[in-house]
Amino acid sequence: MKKWAIILTSVVLLGACSDMTATQQRALTGTVGGAAGGAAIGAIAGNAGLGAAIGAGAGLVGGLVYDRVQKNQQAAFQQGYTEGRQSR
């Protein structure tokens, strides 16, 4: 029974992400990954909750920074592509 609950929860959570923008998806992925990593490190250090909170914050910032880098890269590519097409 527990196995089915985990599978159902996973499917519902993945389906909820389908209408998100790329920025929202990257922020969520960073937050969840950071919280998981922070909780693991916090559990070793003795305070999983604090570790999860710190990890979630760091993951959110990391996800947003990654999103900004990806957007800048895409904008630079589009600019170069447009300039290349115009110089023909």
Residue 33 burial (C-beta neighbours within 10 Å; 0-12, 13-18, 19+): middle
Model-level pTM? Answer: 0.74
65-87 tens-digit pLDDT: 999 999 999 999 999 999 988 87
Structural tokens at position 47: 């305070």
Handedness of CA 16, 17, 18, 23 (dihedral sign): positive
5-39 tens-digit pLDDT: 677 776 666 666 678 899 999 999 999 999 999 99
Rg (CA), the chain: 19
* Cα angle value 58/37/27 (rounded, 5°): 45
Residue 40 contacts by C-beta under 8 Å, 6 or more apart in sequence? 48, 51
* Cα angle value 71/59/46 (rounded, 5°): 170
